Amino acid sequence: MSLAPRRAVAALAAVLLAGSVAACGNSDTGAGGGGGDDKIVLGFSQVGAESGWRTANTNSIKEAAAEAGIDLKFDDAQQKQENQIKAIRNYIQQKVDVIAFSPVVESGWDTVLKEAKDAGIPVILTDRAVDSADKSLYKTFLGSDFVKEGRLSGEWLVENSKDATGDVNIVELQGTTGSAPANDRKKGFGEAIAADPKLKVIASQSGDFTRAGGKQVMEQFLKAHPKIDVLFAHNDDMGLGALEAITAAGKVPGKDITIITIDAVKDGMQALADGKFNFIAECSPLLGPQLMDLAKKVHAGEEVPPRIETEETTFTQEQAKTALPNRKY
């Protein structure tokens, strides 16, 4: 072959290669790394849209990605683990730069996490943890201390039941079965109330972190148990659903039944300020900016701490009145 045709072939090859790389980097296909604009491609698998907390978390992640100039691929798993596994496998196939996800339940992730590791794609856990023994399967876990949230809720109850005489009957609305927040909040609460033997959990069932679930399970609790003194709901939404059931049963929430919840989203804080809830342990959904920062670091191959805990507080009715006007979510 003469020199001229050889150059022509090389030029054609270069054009074809450039075309295929550009196609890989386009945000619809979601392929990473070598995209034309050099943006980091982050594949994120969200749990679902089950609660006000979740909506605020999704908004935080989308806004922070746009601000950080990160190309976000977002998938809503509708509270199903199989959908999350499918989304993660799609991200691996698309060769995204970083994968992040909030695991709906704690168990069953090792195989897909190993696939991501073998593909050389770093994984960040946000909000919820996995129970994998092999910590090398993910770079870091960014989120709340759910055991602490349960413990703070229980400690408030111990303190505020000091003057009660006789048994204090508690019903518990658990979050999604098998999820880290449901397991951990139950544990922390149980450990704290063990300090006072008159505090008794008489019923405990999952309301799946939804308002509808909270309402439905509270209706059953009210039918089955004539004396309920306290409701501990693992999130605001289930507590808000339960309010409807309590009111319909002719009881006054916040007075006849003391209500403790977790999250501190606006609607929950409003119920607290209105005297319908009695105490909320905060769980912050605003994880987006920290997640983007971590995505940039792990993509650059920088070391990151294996655990980053979210800063949180608690609210009484008076504190909710003060905080509500400036509440962001």
Residue numbers at the binding site for ligand AHR (CB under 6 A):
50-51, 53-54, 127-128, 181, 209, 235, 237, 262-263, 283
Q: How far is the CB of 253 from ligand AHR (least distance, A)?
A: 19
Q: How far is the CB of 263 from ligand AHR (least distance, A)?
A: 5
Q: How far is the CB of 327 from ligand AHR (least distance, A)?
A: 15
SS (H, E, C) the chain: CCHHHHHHHHHHHHHHHHHHHHHHHCCCCCCCCCCCCCCCEEEEEECCCCCHHHHHHHHHHHHHHHHHCCEEEEEECCCCHHHHHHHHHHHHHCCCCEEEECCCCCCCCHHHHHHHHHCCCCEEEECCCCCCCCHHHCCEEEECCHHHHHHHHHHHHHHHCCCCCCCEEEEEEECCCCCHHHHHHHHHHHHHHCCCCCEEEEEEEECCCCHHHHHHHHHHHHHHCCCCCEEEECCHHHHHHHHHHHHHCCCCECCCEEEEEEECCHHHHHHHHCCCCCEEEECCCCCHHHHHHHHHHHHCCCCCCCEEECCCCEEEHHHHHHHHHHCCC
Short-list 312, 299, 238, CA closest to 268: 238
Token reading at 99: 């994968």
- Give 65 or 281: the residue with its C-beta nearer to ligand AHR: 281
Q: What is the C-alpha to C-alpha distance for residues 240 and 33, in angstroms, rounded to an integer?
A: 44
Q: How far is the CB of 185 from ligand AHR (least distance, A)?
A: 8
Q: How far is the CB of 124 from ligand AHR (least distance, A)?
A: 15
- Give 179 or 258: the residue with its C-beta nearer to ligand AHR: 179
| Residue type at position 200 | K
Q: How far is CA 165 from the centre of its chain?
A: 38
- Give 122 or 181: the residue with its C-beta nearer to ligand AHR: 181
Q: How far is the CB of 122 from ligand AHR (least distance, A)?
A: 22
- Give 68 or 240: the residue with its C-beta nearer to ligand AHR: 240
Please provide the size of the chain in residues: 329
Q: How far is the CB of 236 from ligand AHR (least distance, A)?
A: 7
- Give 209 or 232: the residue with its C-beta nearer to ligand AHR: 209
Q: How far is CA 149 from CA 81, 161, 193, 266, 282, in A?
A: 24, 19, 13, 18, 7
Q: How far is the CB of 103 from ligand AHR (least distance, A)?
A: 9
- Give 40 or 238: the residue with its C-beta nearer to ligand AHR: 238
Q: How far is the CB of 19 from ligand AHR (least distance, A)?
A: 42
- Give 21 or 49: the residue with its C-beta nearer to ligand AHR: 49
Tokens 């609305």 map to which residue? 173
- Give 127 or 229: the residue with its C-beta nearer to ligand AHR: 127
- Give 70 or 182: the residue with its C-beta nearer to ligand AHR: 182
